[in-house]
Structure 1
Amino acid sequence: MTTPEIATRLAEYCRNGQFEAAQKELYADNAVSIEPEASPAFAKETKGLQAIIEKGHKFEGMVETMHSCDVSQPLVAGNSIAFVMNMDMTMKGQPRGQMGELCVYQVKDGKIVEEHFFM
């Protein structure tokens, strides 16, 4: 799969809240996920597809209700993909709120090898 094809599939999965399906299809087994320094719930860096999937389960367990997840059209430059994701959600024990982040991905050999989130 080409980087533009991966970008289109990834954005579609994210718009539908199908993060694990995206990871299983599009990520390399040795992928790395990098969170912003300000993320208190997660380690700065998570290595390996299975660990990334488990991190996603932890995040889902913290969410009471996902009201919407909007994803911009992806930008592609070489082997890099970027889009803005805005989530309207209620976290457990907290009031409803919005979270916006810039999501940047690196592709190598037809698979995502790195995701990096900026808030």
Structure 2
Amino acid sequence: METKEIAKRLADYCRKGDWDGAQKELYADNAKSIEPYATPAFSKETIGLNAIVEKGKKFDNMVEQMHGIEVSDPLVAGNSIAFTLAMDVTMKNQPRMTTPELCVYQVKDGKIVSEEFFV
């Protein structure tokens, strides 16, 4: 799959909040996920598709209600993909908030090999 096609499919999955679907279809088994910083819930870096899928499930279990997700059109440069993603979300035991971030992905051999999030 070409990087432009991966970018479109990834953005579509993210607009639906279907992290699991995106990861299982588009990510390499040895993919890496990098958060802006470590938190009590998540390490700064997660390596391997299975660990990334588990991280996604953990995030979903922390969500009380997802009110909306906005994803910009993706930008593609070579094997890099970037878009903005903003979630309007209520996490369990927390007030409603909007979480804007820049999402950057690297593609190799038709699969996403890294994702990194910036706030």
TM-score (norm 1): 0.97
- After superposition, the C-alpha distances for 1:34-62 in whole angstroms (9 at most, x for unaligned) are 00126442101100000000000110111
Residue 65 of structure 1 pairs with residue 60 of structure 2: no
Measure, in 1, the Cα distance between the counterparts of 2:91 and 2:4. Answer: 33
Unaligned runs of 5+ in 2: none
| 1:1-119 map, 5 Å | 1-37=1-37, 39-119=39-119
Identity %: 70
| Partner SS for 2:12 | helix
| Partner SS for 1:85 | strand
Q: CA RMSD in A?
A: 0.9
TM-score (norm 2): 0.97
- After superposition, the C-alpha distances for 1:62-109 in whole angstroms (9 at most, x for unaligned) are 110000011000000000000000000000001111001000000000
Unaligned runs of 5+ in 1: none
Residue identity matched to 1:81:
I
Measure, in 2, the Cα distance between the counterparts of 1:32 and 1:104. Answer: 12
Q: Please identify runs of 4+ aligned residues in structure 1 that moved more than 6 A.
A: none
